[in-house]
Amino acid sequence: MKLKPAGAGEPLDSDPLATEAFPGFAQLTLVTTTTSTGPDGTEVADVITAEGVLYRARPDGTVLDAMGTPTTSGEVALSTDQARETAQRFAEANLLGFTTDWQIVADEPISHLAGDALQLLRWRPVDAGKAGAREVTVEIDRRTGAVVYFSATGGGADAGEEPTAAFAVSESEAVAAAREAVGDDRGIATAVADTWQTSRWIVTVDRGLTGRPEALVHDVDRIEIDARTGAVLSRTTV
């Protein structure tokens, strides 16, 4: 997350610098790149960009997921239809194989920070009337049109499993595991089912404004829980 520099006469604070709209990951400026092991055991690159976007990519350049910073104030400029069109254009430009024939399985407002204005879109391909294993999720900032979250799944270990087998761990069990991992039992917790070579729950624990009295950014943890075993796959402080 990038912090907005204080202007002349302004107090120092922790106001995050919102991500500006960008057409694709190739247009971002790389600052640092490290490597880690992805959920399926393969090596991935963890990239931090000058624009404040963080993303993970495979050696072939395929982006697995990405996260930016939404605005938290200002006039909402995009309608839900415009947000959907923006998300679709981004998916077409950045996900190999995505077409307008994919079915929308989620189109809803979502919030991670107080004051943000986000729209979540999720698509899956349909084959013979059944949803395929691939899935792409895009969250759009309706003030700027910027992509602040991107996730693309390509199938894998869970592709042939029944949903009940791939998600043996319930939503409440995933939330409990995430709370235990971060040592929190009071923050607002939400869980979203996702697949990333393995089925997982993405749990967000929002403790609100903590720490210094003048803090402007919520204390948020994002925990990935294996939906079959309940193991913690990763933890990120947003």
How many angstroms separate the CA atoms of 202 and 222, rounded?
A: 7
- Residue scoring higher pLDDT (58 or 210): 58
Q: Rounded to two decimals, what is the model's pTM?
A: 0.62
Residue where one domain finishes, among candidates 133, 154, 175 = 154
pLDDT of 119 strictly over 90: yes
Q: Are residues 109 and 163 in the same domain?
A: no
| Domain span at 135 | 1-154
- Residue scoring higher pLDDT (150 or 229): 150
Q: Are residues 1 and 100 in the same domain?
A: yes
Phi-psi domain of 164 (left: phi exceeds 0; alpha: psi -120 through 50; beta: other): alpha
At 207 the pLDDT is 79
Q: What average pLDDT does this structure show over 174-199?
A: 83
Q: Are residues 148 and 170 in the same domain?
A: no
pLDDT confidence band for 123 (50 / 70 / 90)? very high
Q: Are residues 229 and 174 in the same domain?
A: yes
Q: Are residues 9 and 56 in the same domain?
A: yes
pLDDT of 225 strictly over 80: yes
Q: Are residues 143 and 28 in the same domain?
A: yes
What is the total count of domains within the chain? 2
Residue where one domain finishes, among candidates 121, 154, 187 = 154
How confident is the model over 6-31, as pLDDT tens digits? Answer: 454 555 455 568 999 999 999 999 99
At 43 the pLDDT is 87
